[in-house]
Structure 1
Amino acid sequence: MAASGVPSGGSDGTEGENLSPSPPDSSSGGGGGGNADRRQSKRISEQSSWEAKDSEGKDYLYRLGQEADNMNIAVGARQGVIDDLFVGNFLGRDSDIVFDYRQKATRSFQYLQGDYYIAPAFMDKVACHIVKNYLVDHLDIKVPLILGVWGGKGQGKTFQTELIFRAMGVEPIIMSSGELESENAGEPGRLIRQRYRTSSQVVQNQGKMSCLMINDIDAGLGRFGNTQVTVNNQIVVGTLMNLADNPTRVSIGQRWRDSDVTHRIPVIVTGNDLTTIYAPLIRDGRMDKFYWQPTREDIVNIVHRMYEKDGISRGGVETIVNLFPNQALDFYGALRSRTYDLSILKWIDEIGGYEDLSRKLLKDYKAGKLPTFIPPEQTVEALVESGHSLVKEQELITNTRLSKEYMKNLDG
């Protein structure tokens, strides 16, 4: 096969050595100087570094291909290591081409501008869980890796947690329940392990605290009635259980190395009903639980901070909370949004109505040719009016069962 330039090396890493322009040794199966010249002429590129050897003297790229998690882009474009062709002067002579991409995996919360209220009980639980996991080597106790924050819908579980991350300087990696299912078997479990290891790299490389957060976990793993349990559901549950039991040895497919020890990273999950999740995952040794039900004082403080920039006094907030009791926190945020409706409709009339609205919004508005939208002035009366409208919609949804109306003729 010498005429074709295709080596006949086996799986021991020698086929990469056959591409070397140096005279072949006995392990490469080469014949003589003529064969070496022909092999050198078949090199793909003069800039290629395929002849590079690793520390054991084997072909570097061949070993690289055997390690599933260690691709060229993960190593980075370092001059003389992979291939100088991909370094280029515009990236610098020693640059990691995916460094910025990996940095974006974490959440830094620049969008959380302003002074928000953090419930003391919530702060104590989340902060204590994070600190215990970072000090686990100095504590003579069993520390659960996972904290399950659960409670009613719209009570601000995720938002309060993000505020705590910002206050503590934690840069977490945040996942949603939509990432816990895939058309490829095993992919969500691998993704969780990969995100966990990335969070560990934030601690190691940046010197910042980090954690893994999964929002609405019961929506992805919960079992409701006749819900089908998929292979990915089982793998995700098994992955989380394995992380809780072995938080410093996390594989995503590569060969085990004694030095491959992952930093212990606390995991925080949110959900509405943890009883729908596989029971061994939520046992006390693996998951610490925190039921979040804000008190009236918490609600007043949170809503007051929300409306403070609008000039709404604490007394006005208490009036609103008293008029609409037993409402979730997101209800009071929706009040403010509903007050904008009339102002937006008025603005649409000012720009000429609904006709040709698409062109005006996409072109004229960006060009500054449309009138500036002026937000409405917030008053207690306007918020109360919006509240009654929202409550009416809630009651219609609760009391009107259109599905039964549609299906009544099919009964019997």
Structure 2
Amino acid sequence: MDSGGFFLWRQKKIPKKKKKTQMFLCNCNSECFFPKIPLNLRRNPRPLPARITFSSPQSPSQSLDGGEVEPKPSDPPPKQISEQSSYEAKDSEGRDYLYALGQESQNMNISVGARSGVIDDLFVGKFLGKDSDIVFDYRQKATRSFEYLQGDYYIAPIFMVILFSHIVKNYIVQQLDVKVPLILGIWGGKGQGKTFQTELIFRAMGVEPVIMSAGELESERAGEPGKLIRERYRTASQVIQNQGKLSCLMINDIDAGLGIFGHTQRTVNNQIVVGTLMNLADNPTRVSVGQKWRESDVTHRVPIIVTGNDLSTLYAPLIRDGRMEKFYWQPVREDIINIVYRMFDKDGISKDEVESIVDTFPNQALDFYGALRSRAYDQSILQWVSDIGGHENLGEKLLKGRKSGKLPTFIPPKHTMEALLEAGHSLVEEQKLITNSRLSKEYMKNMDD
């Protein structure tokens, strides 16, 4: 561009086999981005002038002889699709508006909900041969079906009666002339199988619960955990309504998230979660997730089951009898023997030998016997690692072998009473070391100096 504001245009030569000249024409103002010439001009090209005026909006254009000429009115720029109304079914060229908008936007992936080129088929699922959408996948993963619980397990009769009656009473509450608490609090010592027994009963009854943990009862945003509880409650209600299956809301280790221990600091989320649970217990069919109340928005009553080690650490009005039914789970010797016997049934351990193991290690939680069985596998696992080539290339062989399915088969060991008792005594020694050592006091004893 020279000092007079003129721009020199030259023809760009195209390879001879096309025998055409690609030409550009600019006849608009300074905001032009040099669009290609229209189709009719390509078919009948006209000679380009030696110089073309590139005028500015502040001053009139100048001709080749120096005279002033009025600028020609330029055509308005084409209307972008994103500026059009989202209620238009077609764009200005007759194309589908939503699909064209997806092609225009750089941040929209139209193949997430459906395959590229397929519009409005967002809920077809994989059974019709299309990619399922995100909401479809979420609906499949919102509940737990416990398909992994394969085998024969022991369910304590008293546990079955309490949980079964609580679920049934909440589903037929309209036919009963009694006050039915919405929440069932199952509490007891650590490692006594509260959650596992509950899952076994869910599987036996065909219940697909929505499960939460204590880690979801706190958030960096105020009000999020309370809203999450209400959303999960409504999700369980939708399972009942849409899928025709029994469902409930289960919160594991609730005292770890809401309990008050010593000088534990409470947060606004603790208060909102407690208030949410109390409100659900008082109004189980009217649950809001933030929108305006609607008279027609009636939610199915969903029983709530919580587990914990010490319910006395919770807010007292939450655990009162009208809102929460309490069940203290402490397995008796018969329950422990039956549960452990089913645990060792595949290992060829008789019931008399199980009784001997339980009597050798009294006052132990049920998870102790599971850890005892796992400890007895250690020698067999070390031998298996040696058989596949040792620990030097263990990581590579484990990862590649797991993907290809070529890992050698692990053969479980044949348990003997001597090996099981030895493993049990080693676990007891570890428990004593933790109880008696208290190394934290040793670390902190000189901090006051």
Tell me if 1:47 matches 2:81: no
- Higher-Rg member (1/2): 2
Residues 87 and 95, structure 1, Cα contact 8 Å, conserved in 2: no
Tell me if 1:393 matches 2:430: yes
Residues 47 and 85, structure 1, Cα contact 8 Å, conserved in 2: no
| Paired residue type of 1:47 | Y
Question: CA–CA distance in 1 between the matches of 2:169 and 2:259?
Answer: 28
Which residue is equivalent to 1:58? none
Which residue is equivalent to 2:121? 87
Change (3 A) 1:17 1:284: farther
Which residue is equivalent to 2:291? 254
Q: What's the TM-score once normalised by structure 2's chain length?
A: 0.73
Q: Deviations over 1:66-90 (max 9, x none)?
A: xxxxxxxxxx989xxxx97342798
Question: CA–CA distance in 2 between the matches of 1:223 and 1:175?
Answer: 20
**3-state DSSP class of the match of 1:290?**
strand
Change (3 A) 1:302 1:236: same
**1:308, CA displacement in angstroms?**
1.1
**1:226, CA displacement in angstroms?**
1.5
Which residue is equivalent to 1:299? 336
Q: Which runs of 5+ in 2 are unaligned?
A: 1-75, 100-111
Tell me which moved more, 369-378 or 144-153. 369-378
Q: What's the TM-score once normalised by structure 1's chain length?
A: 0.79
Change (3 A) 1:225 1:99: same
Which residue is equivalent to 1:238? 275
**1:168, CA displacement in angstroms?**
0.9
Residues 123 and 164, structure 1, Cα contact 8 Å, conserved in 2: yes
**1:406, CA displacement in angstroms?**
1.3
Match for residue 213 of structure 1 among 247, 250, 261: 250
Change (3 A) 1:153 1:89: closer
Match for residue 227 of structure 1 among 259, 264, 269: 264
Which residue is equivalent to 2:25? none
Question: CA–CA distance in 1 between the matches of 2:179 and 2:252?
Answer: 25
Q: Deviations over 1:320-367 (max 9, x none)?
A: 000000000000111110011111112222233221221121124544
**3-state DSSP class of the match of 1:147?**
strand
Tell me if 1:148 matches 2:185: yes
Question: CA–CA distance in 2 between the matches of 1:159 and 1:359?
Answer: 34
**1:136, CA displacement in angstroms?**
0.5
Question: CA–CA distance in 1 between the matches of 2:217 and 2:123?
Answer: 40
Kindly report which structure 2 residues correspond to 1:12-411, keeping only aligned pairs within 5 A, or say none: 41=92, 46-48=96-98, 85-87=119-121, 97=133, 98-364=135-401, 366-367=403-404, 371-411=408-448
| Paired residue type of 1:182 | S
Question: CA–CA distance in 2 between the matches of 1:196 and 1:216?
Answer: 18
Question: CA–CA distance in 1 between the matches of 2:87 and 2:250?
Answer: 48
Q: Which has the higher contact order (CA 8 A, sep 6+)?
A: 1
**3-state DSSP class of the match of 2:344?**
helix
Q: Deviations over 1:218-266 (max 9, x none)?
A: 0011111111111111111111011001000011122322221100000
Q: RMSD value over aligned CA atoms?
A: 3.0
Q: Identity across aligned pairs (percent)?
A: 71
| Paired residue type of 2:242 | N
Q: Deviations over 1:135-183 (max 9, x none)?
A: 1101111110000000000000000001111111111111111111111
Higher helix residue share: 1
Question: CA–CA distance in 1 between the matches of 2:77 and 2:179?
Answer: 65
Change (3 A) 1:344 1:132: same
Residues 199 and 211, structure 1, Cα contact 8 Å, conserved in 2: yes
**1:99, CA displacement in angstroms?**
2.4
